[in-house]
Amino acid sequence: MSVPDADRPVSPRPAGAGATGAGPNSAVPTVGVVVLTQGTRPDDLERGIRSILAQQDVRLDVVCVGNGWAPTGLPEGVAALALPTNLGIPAGRNRGVAQVSGEYLFFLDDDASIPDPHFLRDAIALLKNDPSIGLLQPRVVDPSGITSPRRWIPRIRKGEATHSSAVFSVWEGAVMLPRAVFDATGGWAEPFFYAHEGIELAWRVWDQGLRAWYAGDLEANHPVIQPTRHADYYRLNARNRVWLARRNLPALFVPFYVGSWTGIQVLRWARNRSALSAWFGGWREGWREIPGERKPLSARTIWRMSLAGRPPIV
């Protein structure tokens, strides 16, 4: 299926069209799926979309969002949304949400895929069986068997990758949550463009009286690729770290959080002067510019996060 002009998105079809294992009136879970891409990885994109369409016992409403690209050649049953320019990862995902319906939302990056056709069914069962969970990230595995990097486990004390636990950030490439929870958080942090939007979303889930959850018993696939460490990476990493605090923390906590991360980065990149220079450029930008909506976490949320092992100062 192709897209007309880049500024004319294809209207999404009714929820459940093209879904497997369910008729239009079946009492099965409904899932709106947002696949984000810039069109630079066509083989990976096809693999990811096929893995979604293979899901069983759910009704699907799937949209492929082209961030600065018009998606073409999509399988039947997948809508396309062409964004004329690259709005950034968070904004691209948010635009996709507006195009799909469903009680649950699942976000998938174009280089990720789901190997188990019962993944969505099992993830929803986990959310239903434990109503305290408001967001779920699966374990991430390289499909070729290469050892997965520890950074994919969103915990300070990493432990075993198969161990499930509450977390305070997420790897954003495969994330699921009830739509009502997503709406209550305000969605992905659009001003961030890239970096740390998964921390803010997790924090705002906690602020709903719920928990973000790392499900070590559920699996998503993603190839091991060494992340590019360019000047923009360091700049946005620092800017968004400051914005994360300014948008979400009570004023008393802001200097502690930013200060602790400043110390960490100085120690981490002490021998990389160019990295530190770019990082501090972003750090200054984070203080100078307006970060968007400010919605401080409640005192109750900070207490719950602290009891769970991660007060928002590091």
Determine the average pLDDT of the residues in 278-299: 96
Q: Which residues of 188-207 are buried (b: 16+ CB within 10 A; e: fewer)?
A: bbbbbbebbbbbbbbbbbbb
Element (H, E) at 52: helix 42-53
In the prediction, which pLDDT does 203 show?
Answer: 98
* pLDDT at site 231: 85
Decide if pLDDT at 11 tops 70: no
How many CA atoms within 13 Å lie on the side-chain side of 235?
Answer: 7
User: What pLDDT is attached to residue 225?
Assistant: 79
| pLDDT of the residue at 230 | 78
Say if residues 200 and 94 touch (Cβ distance below 8 Å). Answer: no
Q: Of 303, 194, 31, 170, which Cα lies nearest the Cα of 185?
A: 170
pLDDT for 314 equals 79
Tell me which residue has tokens 């969002």: 65
Work out the angle between the directed axes of helices 231-248 and 273-288 (0-180°, nearest 10): 40
Sign of CA dihedral 119, 104, 101, 179: negative
**The pTM is what?**
0.90
Give me the pLDDT at residue 18, please: 40
Average pLDDT, the chain: 91
pLDDT, residue 27, reads 85
Q: What percent of the chain has pLDDT over 90?
A: 82
Q: What is the DSSP letter of 291?
A: -
d(CA 134, CA 171) in angstroms, rounded, equals 15
- Highest mean pLDDT range out of 10-14, 154-158, 168-172? 168-172
Q: Hey, which bits of 131-242 come out as E strands?
A: 133-141, 165-167, 174-178, 211-221
Alpha carbon 193 to chain centroid, angstroms: 12
Between helix 231-248 and helix 254-268 the angle, nearest 10°, is: 160
pLDDT at 14: 38
The whole-angstrom separation of Cα 211 and Cα 204 is: 9
Q: What is the pLDDT of residues 62-108, one digit of tens each?
A: 999 999 999 999 999 999 999 999 999 999 999 999 999 999 999 99
Question: Any residues with CB less than 8 A from the CB of 105 and at least 6 apart, and which?
Answer: 31, 32, 33, 34, 97, 176, 177, 178, 179, 182
